[in-house]
A and B are shown apart, each in its own frame.
Chain A
Amino acid sequence: MTYELLNGLSSAEAEQVLRLGTRLMVPAGTELFRLGDPADRLFLTERGRIRLTMPMQIRGREEDIFVEEMAPGQTVGWSALIPPYRFTLTAIASLHEARVIALPREALQGYFVANPAAGYKIALNLAVVIGHRLQLSQTMWVREMQRTVEVRSA
């Protein structure tokens, strides 16, 4: 199993990082975390899929709207490493039970201090994950804006 957050690390380094975490089983439909919760752990998806949602008002009712789905190997909850350390989405196990590795922020930060070279690679990988999310979000936003402009100027 390869994890996007651990790209470029030696197998020994990757093993050291993984040992910092604990495996969690998330039953289907169960929340891993909720928007607004304190983010003190980052998760690596090991099995199953994690749905990320955001709330939206539909017909006067708050509904969780699908935003993204994370597959095995992907990183969930990078808010744990970025101030103000609050989750900005809700994460739920999809149709099947999911398994994740929960990495506590303090343990990770301690590892980065002790192993700056590995910490630098992980930070770069995290930048790739966040950058990709940003590019996706701004592209989708511009596409929606374009449609709105077309409808309004029609």
Chain B
Amino acid sequence: MEMILMGLCVAVFGMGVAAVAFGAATRSVSSDSVVQPQLPLVKAAAPARFFSDRAAVTPTVPSVTPRQVPIEVLLLQIENHVRMEQAAAEVFIAFPSQAHLHSKTASPFVN
């Protein structure tokens, strides 16, 4: 007798679970069938950068983002970059050529 009652309880519980699952499944189907409005694809806004957006291409260490560089360090980087560019420009003025004009810089500011 106890076995029959236990079996009955398990059967009733199983039917309940099946009913809940069926309801959930039909609800998700109906919401999927609703036509979603077409949203324009918007490119994620890139953080503001100085001179170059090469930083977006090259992978960066997550813990050191440009935002976290102290302003004094950034100003020093800019100054070093300007000095290196000036030196490159001086070479071009002394020996004008296409190669000297667009010689690659080793400045870490743009590399």
Chain A residues with a Cβ under 8 A of chain B: 58-59, 61, 63, 65-68, 132, 135-136, 139-140, 142-144, 146-148, 151, 154
Q: A58, B74: Cβ atoms under 8 Å?
A: yes
* Other A-B pairs, 14, CB within 8 Å; known A66-B78, A148-B52: A58-B50, A58-B75, A59-B67, A63-B75, A65-B78, A136-B89, A136-B90, A140-B89, A142-B101, A143-B105, A144-B51, A146-B102, A147-B51, A148-B51
The answer to whether B79 and A143 touch across the interface, beta carbons within 8 angstroms, is no
Task: Report chain B residues within 8 Å CB of A139.
Answer: 88-89, 92-93, 101
Residue ID in chain A nearest B53 by CB atoms? A151
Give Cα distance in the complex from A61 to B86, angstroms: 25
A147 / chain B contacts, CB cutoff of 8 Å: 51-52, 54, 110
B86 cross-chain contacts in A, Cβ below 8 A:
68, 136, 140
The number of residues on chain B lying at the interface, defined by a beta carbon within 8 Å of a beta carbon of chain A, is: 25
A139 → B minimal CB distance (Å): 4
Instruction: Determine the chain B residues whose CB is within 8 A of the CB of A58 once the complex forms.
Output: 50, 71, 74-75
Centre residue among A61, A67, A132, A147 by max chain B CB count within 10 A = A147
Q: How far is the CB of A142 from chain B (nearest CB, A)?
A: 7
- B93: chain A residues within 8 A (beta carbon): 132, 135-136, 139
Q: Which of B44-85 contact A (CB under 8 A)?
A: 50-54, 57, 67, 71, 74-75, 78-79, 82-83, 85
| Alpha-carbon separation in the docked complex, A68 to B90 (Å) | 12
Min CB–CB distance A122 → chain B (angstroms): 22
B79 near A66 (CB under 8 angstroms)? yes
For A67, the chain B residues whose CB sits under 8 A away are: 82
